[in-house]
Each structure stands twice: as C-alpha cells, then as structure tokens.
Amino acid sequence: MTPIAVRRWAWIHKWSSLVCTVFMLLLCVTGLPLIYHHEIDHALGNAIEAPQMAAGTPMASLDKVIAAGKALYPDKMAMYLSQEADDPKIWFLTMGDNPTDEKFKSIAVDARTAKVLGEPSFEGSFLGVMFHLHVDLYAGLWGKLFLGLMGLLLVMAIISGVVLYAPFMRKLDFGEVRRERGPRVKWLDLHNMLGIVTLTWALVVGATGMINTWADLLLKYWQYTEMAEMVAPYKGLPPPTQLGSMQQSLEHAVAAEPGMKIGFVAFPGTPFTSPHHYGIFMRGNEALTSRLYKPVLIDAQTTRITDRRQLPWYLTGLLISQPLHFGDYGGPWMQFLWAALDIITIFVLGSGLYLWLKRGAPAPARAAAAAKEEQQQVPA
C-alpha cells in the first residue's frame, strides 16, 4: 500500500472512530444489562410469574383473557396480545385509549385461569431507561436514525482499521505488546490486538444494530405496500361495530398454519393491521423460525381468514438481524460470550479515545523540544 493510501485510510479511521466513539461507548454500556434483561428483572423483583399448576392444565379462552383486561380498564381498548416464546402460561395484553396510544397499559394475565397477575412496569424502570438510551436516545425515529448513522461510522472504522492493521503489524508478531516502549505504545498495541480479536463480533453487532434502526421505516413501507394490498377489498367500508370471538379467530389461524405458534395479535385499527381485521402473527417452533412471523388476517366481524402470506425479504432480514444483535438465541453461554465481547469492545473504544487524547504535542512544539534538547547536548 502506498503512503498516500495509508494516510487516506488513516484519516477515515481516525474521524469515523472519533465521531462515533462516545455513542458506541453508550451503546455498549447500555447494551450490557439488556443481554441479561430476564435475569435482572428477576433479581429486581419485577418479573411476573404464573403460579405452578398441574401439567396439562387447559388454557382459558382468549375472550376471557381479554375480558379480564377490560374489567381492569373498562374505558380502554385492546391493542395487542402477546406471549413470550419460552413462557406460554402468560398473556400480555396491551390496552390504550386509542389504537396508537403511546401511554398504554400492559397487563399480565394467566393463560390458564384468565386472572390478572400484575401490570409490568417498563417505562421509567432501570431496564426501560437502558432500552431507550440504547435504541432511540428518547428521541423516537430521529434518535434511531442518528444511532444508525453512528453504526455506519463504526462499520467504516472497523473496515479502515483492518486495512491499516496489515502494514502496521508487518514488523511485529501477532498480538505483540511492546511494554518497554512506554504507556502510549503499550495502549496502542492493546487497542490493535483486542480490536482484531473482536473484529467479527463488532462488525456483526454494528451492522445488525444499524439495520434495526431502520425498523420503523421498513414497517411503514410494508404497511403502505403489502398490507395495503391485503386489506384492499375492505377499503371504504365502515369499521365493524361489534367484534367477533378472538378465540375462534385464533383457532382458524392455527388450523391454517399447522406447526406454528402465536407470536402476537394486533387488534383492529393498530398499525399492524386494518380497522376491519385481527392481525394474528404466527411464528415457527425452531430456533430460527421462532424469530420469523407470518401474518394471518382475520375478518374481525366474521372471524374468517381473508389473507395470509410470508413477510417480504427486507422484514425477514430485519427479524434475523435482531437475535444476532442481542445474542439472545443461544442460552446462557451465548449471553456470556456476548457480554464478554461487549466488555472487550468497551476497552477497545476507551483505549482509542485515550490514544487520541494522548496523541502528543503539536508538531511545532515537538520540534522546539527537540531543538532545545540538541542545544543542551552541545558542549560549551
């Protein structure tokens, strides 16, 4: 590589790193507790658990589950209904004043007895604060897009760092740390070594994090294209005044998609469906397919299926990127690996910032110091 090319790549690495470093440090620090969000919820006593019952206890009708939430908040409407993939004993019912209410109430209902177990409090909690700082900086879509830009700069910093690593290490053994050359050289060697060690992970997490910031835009595009096509026959019709049975709708969706489970349900008027439909989003049973959804639209009045189809490639890519980003698909060992690599990345980012702050005196000052030292060495 020519000296000019090296200087250009060094400039790209320097400024892409400097601009994104503080925000990447924030994302690494806030992302660490999110890796263990289930465990932290349990430790803080915020987790809601269903009581133990005999195996094979039948599930209550979804209509009773919804009725339990409405009894708690009779003036609110149901917005969403969901379950954790690993805990089918609890339904989480979201209720609000309107289909897009951002100040919604979340209610945990026992799936077997249809009794309210509690109201999870996420907003304002420790994990809630970590989540918002990690996802959108409390700035909504613009905060997500800004963090997406920082993710792009991180990817540029990683690629330029790899390009520069080969000529830098040409005269050094891999992983060599020159401790005898002073603290700054030692920190530089540690920065380069650990940066290469975490290269693949940082690139994957940075790229998938950037993709996740586009989620709102991708969903809106899907709503205006495929979702609009799926509900086109109902365009211009008045919304139903009475909704059909959710339990029957669920049974129709399960029968149409054997081997799949309920991911979540969107009630009429919410962004994931239309004013005329229940949107029942099915997911698979395997490690990968459990992350992928298939929408089944149910006429909210007749409970008949009106359309069902696979998600487009761009939403499939988005859903696949999420477990790669959070490392929550491989159990405790995967969590530990993600946490360890996150901590190492914090060190890489911090050491890069340290090296820039300790980059030395400006060139004129260094020249003056050298001249002074040379004068002192000249004999009188």
Task: Find the domain containing 22 and state its range.
Answer: 3-39+136-213+336-368
- pLDDT confidence tier of residue 178, bands split at 50, 70 and 90: low
The mean pLDDT value for 293-318 works out to 93
CA-wise closest residue to 307 among 318, 319, 299: 299
The reply to whether 242 and 301 lie within a common domain is yes
What is the reported pLDDT for 251?
A: 94
Whether 221 is covered by a domain: the verdict is yes
In this structure, are 314 and 219 located in the same domain? yes
- What per-residue confidence (pLDDT) applies to 320? 87
What's the pLDDT band for 168 if we cut at 50, 70, 90?
low
Residues in the chain: 380
Top pLDDT among 107 and 54 is at 107
**Do 180 and 268 belong together in one domain?**
no
167 & 35 share domain: yes
Domain check: are 171 and 203 in the same one? yes
The answer on pLDDT for 171 being more than 70 is no
- Looking at the domain assignment, is residue 201 inside a domain? yes
Q: Name the pTM for this structure.
A: 0.80
> Is 375 contained in some domain?
no
> Distance between CA 309 and CA 276 in Å, rounded?
18
Q: What pLDDT is attached to residue 334?
A: 85
pLDDT value of residue 120 = 86
Residues 218 and 308 in one domain: yes
Q: Give the pLDDT confidence score for residue 158 in this predicted structure.
A: 86
Q: Does 203 fall in a domain?
A: yes
Strand order in the sheet with 77-84: 116-118, 105-110, 87-96, 77-84, 261-266, 277-283, 293-299, 305-308
Task: Say whether pLDDT at 376 is over 50.
Answer: no
Asked if 266 and 281 touch (Cβ cutoff 8 Å), the reply is yes
User: Are residues 238 and 317 located together in one domain of the fold?
Assistant: yes
Residue 173 pLDDT exceeds 70:
no
88-97, 317-326, 357-366: which is most confident: 88-97
Q: Please give the tally of structural domains in the chain.
A: 2
* Arithmetic mean of pLDDT over the chain: 84
Question: Helix 199-212 to helix 183-197 angle, to the nearest 10 degrees?
Answer: 70
**Start-end of H helices in 213-312:** 215-222, 228-230, 246-256
Q: What is the pLDDT of residue 176?
A: 61
Top pLDDT among 378 and 230 is at 230
Domain co-membership, 247 together with 286:
yes
238 three-state secondary structure: coil
The reply to whether 112 and 218 lie within a common domain is yes
In a domain, 155, yes or no: yes
Is 378 within the bounds of a domain? Answer: no
Q: Is there a single domain that holds both residue 249 and residue 278?
A: yes
